[in-house]
Amino acid sequence: MTAHPLRDIERINGPPGPYLQAIGTIFATFGAATQDSGNVSYGVQVGDEHFFVKTTDPGAEAFCDHAARVALLYNAARLRRSCDHPTLPALHRIVETAHGPALVYDWVDGECLYGGRRDPPSAHRRFRRLPDAAMLAVLDAVYGLHVQLVQRGWIAVDFYDGCLMYDFKCQVAHVVDLDMYHLGAFTNQMGRMFGSTRFMAPEEFERGALIDERTTVFTMGRAASVFLGDDIGGALGPVVQRACRPERAARYGSMAEFYAAWQQARGSFYCTL
C-alpha cells in the first residue's frame, strides 16, 4: 500500500509550504495577514481529502519567540490526543519540518465567530440572530467539551469567540486554537494574561493569582453572556451570573457542577436580545 503523504509521513527536510504545494493543492493560507500568533496554517487538498495543517514561521514577529510557539503546537496536540470530544477536529499526525511541527488536522467547514460584533453580515452577528435553540446547542457542546477537558486536567486559557467555527448550513460547531490551555492549575505570572477581555476572569489580570477550574467556569459563563446577551432571563440567568462572580469562591466549584446547573435551567430559558 502506498504511504499517504500526510497521514503516514513523520518528517520532511524542508519548510512545510513547498512540500504541501507539491503533494496537493493549497486552497487557503492563514498567516500574518489574518493572525498575530506567528503561526502559518494551510488548507490543503490531497486527492479527495481536505486537511488543515498548522505550522509556525520561525521568522515571524509575534508575542513569543519561535521556541515558545513550537511548544504551544506540541501542547495543542497533547490536548487533542487526551480528549476525543466531537467538537474537536481530528488530529491525524504531527509531521516534523524544518520550521518545527506541522499538525495535520481534518479540515472542518465553518466560519469563525470572532469579529464583526457590530457588523450585521458578519458570522458573529448572523450566529446571534439564530433561534435560541441553535445557540444553546452550541453552548451545550462547548460546555460538554470543557467538562471532559477539566476531567483530564486542562485549564482554559485564551478561549474566546475566535475559538469557535460554526457551519451555518449543517448547524455544527467546532472548537479550535486551544494551544494555550494549561495542564493543571497554575499561578498567573504575567499580570494581564493573553485573551479577550470579554471572556477573562479577574484573576487573569492579577499577577500571583491562582488560575484553575473556577477560572474556566467564569470563561464559560461569559461565553453565554457574549452570545445570548448580558440580560439572560429565566432560570439560566442566575446560573450564568453565579458562574461569572468576581469572587472565586462564589462561583461553581467545577465545570461539572456548572454544566449540571446549566442543563437543569435550560427548559425555562428566555433572553432579550
Q: pLDDT class for 131, splitting at 50, 70, 90? A: very high
At residue 10, the pLDDT reads 95
Give the global pTM: 0.94
> Which grid coordinates are listed for 105?
488536522
- Residue spans in the chain of domains classed CATH 3.30.200.20: 16-106
What band does 47 get if pLDDT is binned at 50, 70 and 90?
very high
Residues 216-241: pLDDT tens digits? 999 999 999 999 998 888 899 999 99
The whole-angstrom separation of Cα 181 and Cα 72 is 9
Buried-exposed string 35-49: b where 16+ CB fall within 10 A, e elsewhere: eebbbbbbbbbbeee
CATH number of 16-106: 3.30.200.20
Residues of CATH 1.10.510.10 domain(s) within the chain?
Answer: 111-271
* Grid coordinates belonging to 202: 479577574
Amino acid at 148: Q
Q: Are 42 and 26 in contact (CB under 8 A)?
A: yes
CATH of 111-271, one of 3.40.50.300, 1.10.4080.10, 1.10.510.10, 3.40.50.150: 1.10.510.10
Q: What's the average model confidence in pLDDT over 99-125? A: 94
Residue range 179-227, pLDDT digits in tens: 999 999 999 999 999 999 999 999 999 999 999 999 999 999 999 999 9
Instruction: Identify the pLDDT of residue 116.
Output: 84
